[in-house]
């Protein structure tokens, strides 16, 4: 009898003259089990959903990567992890030999065809490794369903031999001779003063001059032929021989948009231009003229202003102040790159403390997001970024609708598509937890914060209304429970 009684709480047992009356005869173990079953709230299986545009690009380098000569092999070891996380493209630095030899980051191009196999400028390998290591990296990337994007520097050259230029009378400090003995050991695309500005065609083109004395003239047929028109051109060597899948065009302000248009028409592949400009309309004009995607510097600067400089999230709601708002299918968004993270740009970058909020923004909004190697491989960010990529590739679907944008709070809903519930992003830059009543498209649903920053599970009513919260100086990302 005692053993029997132990199975019941005293509240359910009444003893009268040795007779046992049992009410609601349930064991305490069963109570706990039943309570667990009725209150368990599970996330959706996100593998069943597709965002509007799956995939994220990785900038697979930073300025002055180390160790010298081993970068390609370093990146190759990361590819399986990146692919599993949802990365579908990587952007590599300019592969050709630069004037700075083993110290070159590729932005002082001397020999486009020497990708680590000719001895010149004091080295055989580039800073990143050998040609064999580059081709091995590209092959491994393809095995992991990752495309590889080459950085292409077309505006200027460096590292040639000294040469008199009759179009620069009295100026002997011109280094425009590129041949086997002068910075072009491959012997392909040898150049002279006629291929730079000024020349017999014109003094300069209509675009900005980056390195004036060795500013390539793309109106010279010889230059066009060697860069993209010949069967053995730079473009075809990179694509058909090395295996690159697309292009990141460096400093496109230094040559006409038609250069990109013609290059892409000849060799194809994904392309994005670096038009270093914070004006969204300027970026759109270049996209319209070139047909290429562009890095959304306007979005980058608005995030920097909203999170750091002005500390005012209402900036994010201003009309058409980002390329992604005007032309989302051509906007490549980012929050850091090899230039913005340099020491001299400390006052012109998104601060470390605010980076995850910025990441949450670009990985939930439209546009094609790019992650920066040093951010993704940071142990403090990596798992959060992996989770954000999963959310991006699954729930970031439907129209973008801003529900609230004030100084400290920004709430945005992706309205979802057929069968995809979408999401709500809530950013809070205040010092205390924030909450706000919103009307969603989810009626009579229990919600979960898929960013794992808030543990509460609010429910919507018949009208879709509920109160959402976000932690201080952080964010939450809401969608429906299973």
Spatial CB neighbours of 374, under 8 Å, sequence gap ≥ 6 = 62, 336, 341
Q: Which of 274, 277, 296, 375 is catalytic?
A: 274
Helix axes 297-304, 280-290, angle to 10 degrees: 160
Q: Is 215 known to sit in a ligand binding site?
A: yes
Do the annotations mark residue 339 as ligand-binding? Answer: no
Known binder of ligand: residue 45? no
User: Is 274 a residue of the active site?
Assistant: yes
| 282 vs 319: CA distance, rounded Å | 15
Q: Is 250 a catalytic residue?
A: yes
Which token pair is 329?
């299918």
Q: How far is CA 117 from the centre of its chain?
A: 31
Please identify which residue in the block is written with the tokens 């094609």: 368
Q: Are the C-beta atoms of 472 and 432 separated by less than 8 Å?
A: yes
Q: How far is CA 463 from CA 442, 444, 468, 470, 479, in A?
A: 8, 8, 15, 22, 16
Smallest Cα–Cα separation from 64: which of 98, 115, 88, 110? 98
Residue 197's CB: how many other CB atoms inside 10 A?
Answer: 23
Nearest in space to 355 (alpha carbons), one of 331, 374, 339: 374
Place of tokens 């010889």: 222
Q: Minimal CA–CA distance to 211: which of 299, 110, 294?
A: 110
Length of the chain, in residues: 482
Distance from the Cα of residue 64 to its chain's centroid: 20
Of these residues, 133, 205, 250, 375, which one is catalytic?
A: 250
Return the exposure string of 200-212: e unless at least 16 CB atoms fall within 10 Å of the residue's CB, then b. eeeeebebeebee
Annotated binding residues for Ca(2+), written as ranges, equal: 215, 225, 231
Positions marked catalytic: 250, 274
């Amino acid at each position: 009898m005692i053993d029997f009684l132990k199975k019941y709480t005293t509240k359910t047992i009444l003893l009268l003259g040795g007779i046992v009356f049992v009410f609601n005869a349930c064991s305490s173990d069963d109570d706990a089990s039943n309570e667990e079953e009725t209150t368990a709230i599970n996330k959706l299986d996100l593998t069943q959903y597709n965002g509007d545009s799956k995939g994220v690009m990785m900038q697979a380098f930073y300025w002055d990567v180390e160790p010298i000569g081993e970068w390609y092999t370093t990146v190759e070891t990361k590819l399986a992890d990146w692919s599993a996380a949802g990365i579908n493209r990587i952007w590599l630095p300019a592969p050709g030999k630069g004037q700075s030899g083993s110290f070159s980051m590729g932005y002082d191009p001397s020999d486009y065809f020497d990708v680590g196999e000719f001895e010149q400028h004091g080295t055989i390998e580039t800073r990143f490794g050998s040609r064999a290591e580059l081709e091995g990296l590209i092959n491994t990337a393809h095995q992991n369903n990752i495309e590889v994007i080459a950085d292409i520097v077309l505006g200027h050259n460096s590292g040639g031999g000294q040469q008199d230029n009759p179009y620069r009378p009295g100026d002997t400090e011109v280094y425009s001779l590129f041949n086997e003995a002068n910075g072009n050991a491959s012997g392909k695309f040898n150049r002279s003063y006629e291929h730079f500005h000024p020349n017999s065609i014109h003094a300069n083109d209509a675009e900005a001059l980056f390195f004036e004395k060795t500013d390539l003239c793309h109106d010279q047929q010889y230059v066009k032929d060697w860069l993209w028109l010949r069967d053995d051109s730079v473009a075809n060597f990179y694509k058909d021989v090395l295996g690159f899948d697309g292009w990141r065009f460096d400093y496109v302000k230094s040559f006409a948009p038609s250069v990109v248009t013609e290059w892409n028409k000849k060799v194809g592949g994904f392309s994005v231009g670096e038009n270093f400009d914070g004006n969204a309309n300027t970026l759109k004009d270049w996209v319209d003229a070139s047909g290429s995607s562009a890095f959304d510097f306007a979005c980058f600067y608005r995030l920097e202003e909203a999170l750091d400089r002005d500390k005012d999230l209402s900036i994010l709601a201003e009309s058409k102040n980002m390329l992604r708002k005007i032309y989302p299918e051509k906007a490549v968004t980012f929050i850091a790159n090899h230039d913005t993270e340099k020491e001299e740009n400390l006052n012109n970058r998104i601060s470390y403390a605010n980076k995850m909020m910025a990441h949450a923004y670009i990985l939930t909004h439209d546009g094609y997001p790019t992650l920066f190697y040093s951010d993704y491989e940071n142990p403090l960010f990596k798992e959060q970024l992996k989770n954000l990529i999963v959310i991006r590739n699954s729930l970031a679907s439907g129209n973008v609708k801003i529900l609230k944008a004030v100084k400290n709070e920004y709430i945005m809903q992706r309205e979802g598509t057929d069968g995809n519930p979408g999401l709500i992003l809530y950013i809070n830059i205040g010092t205390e937890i924030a909450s706000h009543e919103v009307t969603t498209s989810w009626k009579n649903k229990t919600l979960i914060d898929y960013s794992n920053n808030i543990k509460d599970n609010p429910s919507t009513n018949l009208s879709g209304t509920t109160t959402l919260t976000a932690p201080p100086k952080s964010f939450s990302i809401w969608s429906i429970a299973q």
